[in-house]
Amino acid sequence: MVTGQPTIETEEIVAAIRGAPAPVVNTRYLADEFDTTIEWMKNRLAELVEEGVLEHTEARNRGHLWWLSVETEMER
């Protein structure tokens, strides 16, 4: 788990992505939603990729993009 900032629960991040205007979000969008740094959020989101909650790609010159995994969507 990332340290040095308050914990943001998995369910909160999933809800933020589900409530976003598009099904794919960038790191800045989520960092702004949770009032945290981009670097901290990127590390937290990477943890969720490892856990199978999110999928991820790095868009050249555009940063990182994140979306819910099929498994997470099926839990709805």
Mind giving me the DSSP string for the chain? Answer: ---SS----HHHHHHHHHTSSSSSEEHHHHHHHTT--HHHHHHHHHHHHHTTSEEEEEETTTEEEEEE-HHHHHT-
User: What integer pLDDT is reported at residue 51 of this predicted model?
Assistant: 97
User: What integer pLDDT is reported at residue 7 of this predicted model?
Assistant: 86
Closest to 26 in 3D by CA, of 7, 53, 48, 45 = 45
User: What integer pLDDT is reported at residue 12 of this predicted model?
Assistant: 97
Each residue of 23-75: pLDDT tens digit? 999 999 999 999 999 999 999 999 999 999 999 999 887 789 999 999 999 88
Query: Is the pLDDT score of 18 beyond 60?
Result: yes
User: What integer pLDDT is reported at residue 31 of this predicted model?
Assistant: 96
Query: Is the pLDDT score of 6 beyond 80?
Result: no
